[in-house]
Chains A and B, each alone.
Chain A
Amino acid sequence: MAAVASPYLAAFAARFQLVLQYRAAALAGFATQCWWGAIKIMVLAAFFYGAARSQPMSLEHAITYTWLGQAFLIFLPWNADPDVAEMVRTGAVAYDRLRPVDTYGWWYARAVAWSAARVAPRAVLMFIVAAGLMPLFGLGAWSLKAPAGLEATVLFAVSMIGVALLSASIVLLINVVAVASMTDRGANLLIAPFSNLLSGGIVPLAFFPGWIRPGLRLQPFAGLFDTPFRIYFGELSGWAALGGVALQVGWTLALVLLGRWALGRTMRRLQVQGG
């Protein structure tokens, strides 16, 4: 078993280590995400204080939700894997087929490494600043709160692994579109607003109109932010939390199957037309 998995694990490890070295990018990204998080929280606060009736989510939860969103922002699928995009530009996709590996698995392992390696430093810094330092400077009301309890912590951790896997399955679909359309630009333009809005990245899904909310929470992007974050502060617990994780896993499997099928088709066409 270990021998079978090794090319994919090696691909994951190599890329994880490589991407982790981009410290300047991590710091710059972190600074932007702090700044952006502060603005979003101020907008939320203004909205809460100005609103006449009670809200579907407390301000405290909304603030925690926002910081979590900033910490794990990179898990939102923003664009095709830059390595794949580069291969598309240089016409080298076919050469990746010279490796005795399953191309989908190979790209998937690399996509998970690519996002996880960028999330890791940013999330650690965000927790240090938003959960650790802010209360020390008298900003406790605006800080990232601890998870609801031990159960919530464990389920959140499981759910974040689910996020990494779900996110990669969406990135792989973008990759396939990039390969099929011979440019990553169209796919990138389309995916960014979808993943940002539908995941609850712009506004928590709780703030969407009541009639659309149940549907929103069933679609795959909800599993990127909304589900794990609600598990974090205990809105989803017990069976409901497990159900949320199950939905994440279900969508991941469905999207992986779709991606495999689409990649297979695209690669067969590439084999006929030339790389």
Chain B
Amino acid sequence: MPQIVVSDLTKHYRIAERDAGAFGAIKGLFHRRMRTVEALDRVSFSLEAGELLGFIGPNGAGKSTTIKILSGILRPTSGEVVVEGLVPYEDRIRHVARIGVVFGQRTQLWWDLPVIEGFDLLAAIYRVDPARYRATRDELVALLKLERLLDQPVRQLSLGQRMRAEIAAALLHEPKILFLDEPTIGLDAPAKLAVREVVQRLNREKGVTVLLTTHDMHDIEALAERVIVIGHGRILADSPFEQLRAEGLAERRVYIEFAEDAPDLVLAGVEVRAREGRSLELAFDPAKTSAPALIAKIAAAHAVADIHVEQPAIEEVIARFYDRHGAGEA
């Protein structure tokens, strides 16, 4: 049986609306117009222990709502969630003791407390055995390079430092499941790399199940084997990352640097995207045109100084995917 089973999860929010302007405000005093927003619409998926799943989708697609329901904060309008045999929102205390959660936009540590005291407090909250706590803490401190931050109050940490501390804080009770809601938001490149590395190690070495939402496609590219694309509260795709990329854009780009001015190439199935001076950019479908054959053909006919093949950027793949499914931000 999978570790996490989500079936027909539906969540509606009721939002009070009013007409613009003073008249609208007065009208709102007497009659509230309620609008129902469907944040999630019959979302189903399941997750085996040890999987690393990426959740992507435009803003407002329902990613955070899903994580909030899975972590027990929110109750769905209908549908069911079972995480390791527990229904999160019915059995909150037992459930949250088993999971770790990091919200990139919130701090769960205490602003005024030094990092180490926050950790101590969390160990008490989760009733972690003291010896076990010290071992876990020291391991996490080394893994996340927190040695020099431990005595600083959380409010003095930079965002990148804080996020590393937050991740350690979420793992002190050694949860088997980790929910990460936009863990790399606002971080600089080295901090992002550090977060990715830690998540990957936890997943591979400790077998922690990870469910991660992000807008950063490089997170997904670096981490997730499996990706769920969500838009308007519905699952648009649930597939291995490579498959998503292959389906999303069956295209290769070849960048060629010639020894002299770039020739005016005309080849069947190959589009010339740019030609400037000695360089040339070509695009082709790898299913129809073989890359080695194409390169061999060009190299045989012209003096080539340099050549490299690329896949389109993952951002481009995803943006096209959203467009095709009409999932662009509402």
Partner of A271, one of B65, B75, B113, B124: B75
Q: How many A-B residue pairs have CB under 8 A?
A: 66
B35 lies within 8 A of chain A by Cβ: no
Structural contact, B112 and A273, CB atoms closer than 8 A = no
Q: Number of B interface residues, CB 8 Å? A: 29
Structural contact, B68 and A11, CB atoms closer than 8 A = no
Structural contact, A95 and B13, CB atoms closer than 8 A = no
Residues of B within 8 A of A95 (CB): 73, 103, 106, 108
Chain B 80-120 interface residues, beta-carbon cutoff 8 Å to A? 89, 92-94, 96-97, 101, 103, 106, 108, 110, 112-113, 117, 120
Q: With A and B bound together, what is the CA distance between A101 and B92 in angstroms?
A: 9
Q: With A and B bound together, what is the CA distance between A154 and B284 in angstroms?
A: 90
Partner of B89, one of A11, A98, A271, A275: A271
Quote the shortest CB–CB distance from B102 to chain A (angstroms).
10
Chain A 7-25 interface residues, beta-carbon cutoff 8 Å to B? 7, 9-11, 14, 18
Chain B 124-178 interface residues, beta-carbon cutoff 8 Å to A? 124-127
Structural contact, A92 and B106, CB atoms closer than 8 A = yes
Structural contact, B75 and A272, CB atoms closer than 8 A = yes
Structural contact, A274 and B74, CB atoms closer than 8 A = yes
Given contacts A3-B127, A10-B124, A98 and B71 within 8 Å (CB-CB): yes
A53 lies within 8 A of chain B by Cβ: no
The listed residue with most B CB atoms (<10 A of its CB), out of A6, A271, A275, is A271
Structural contact, B117 and A14, CB atoms closer than 8 A = yes
A94 lies within 8 A of chain B by Cβ: yes
B14 lies within 8 A of chain A by Cβ: yes
Structural contact, A98 and B101, CB atoms closer than 8 A = yes
Structural contact, A98 and B108, CB atoms closer than 8 A = yes
Given contacts A10-B125, A14-B117, A18-B113, A97 and B14 within 8 Å (CB-CB): no
Quote the shortest CB–CB distance from B51 to chain A (angstroms).
22
B328 lies within 8 A of chain A by Cβ: no
Q: With A and B bound together, what is the CA distance between A195 and B113 in angstroms?
A: 31
Chain A 61-116 interface residues, beta-carbon cutoff 8 Å to B? 92, 94-95, 97-102
Given contacts A95-B108, A273-B14, A100 and B121 within 8 Å (CB-CB): no
Residues of B within 8 A of A273 (CB): 13-14
Structural contact, B96 and A98, CB atoms closer than 8 A = yes
Chain A interface size band reads 20 to 34
The dominant DSSP class at the A interface is helix
Q: With A and B bound together, what is the CA distance between A275 and B71 in angstroms?
A: 13
Q: With A and B bound together, what is the CA distance between A94 and B105 in angstroms?
A: 14
Structural contact, B92 and A97, CB atoms closer than 8 A = yes
Structural contact, A14 and B106, CB atoms closer than 8 A = no
Q: With A and B bound together, what is the CA distance between A268 and B236 in angstroms?
A: 31
B72 lies within 8 A of chain A by Cβ: yes
Give A256-275 as 1s and 0s: 1 = Cβ < 8 Å from B's Cβ atoms. 00000000000010011111
Residues of B within 8 A of A101 (CB): 93, 125
Structural contact, B125 and A7, CB atoms closer than 8 A = yes
Structural contact, A18 and B112, CB atoms closer than 8 A = yes
Partner of B74, one of A6, A92, A271: A271
Residues of A within 8 A of B106 (CB): 92, 95
Residues of A within 8 A of B127 (CB): 3, 6-7
Quote the shortest CB–CB distance from B316 to chain A (angstroms).
33
Closest 7 CB pairs of A and B: A10-B124, A100-B97, A271-B75, A7-B125, A94-B73, A100-B96, A100-B93
Identify 20 residue pairs between A and B in the complex whose beta-carbon atoms are under 8 Å apart, listed by A's number.
A7-B124, A7-B126, A10-B121, A11-B125, A94-B68, A94-B74, A95-B108, A97-B92, A98-B71, A98-B101, A99-B96, A99-B125, A100-B125, A101-B93, A271-B73, A271-B75, A271-B89, A272-B75, A274-B65, A275-B68
Interface residues of A (CB under 8 A from B): 3, 6-7, 9-11, 14, 18, 92, 94-95, 97-102, 268, 271-275
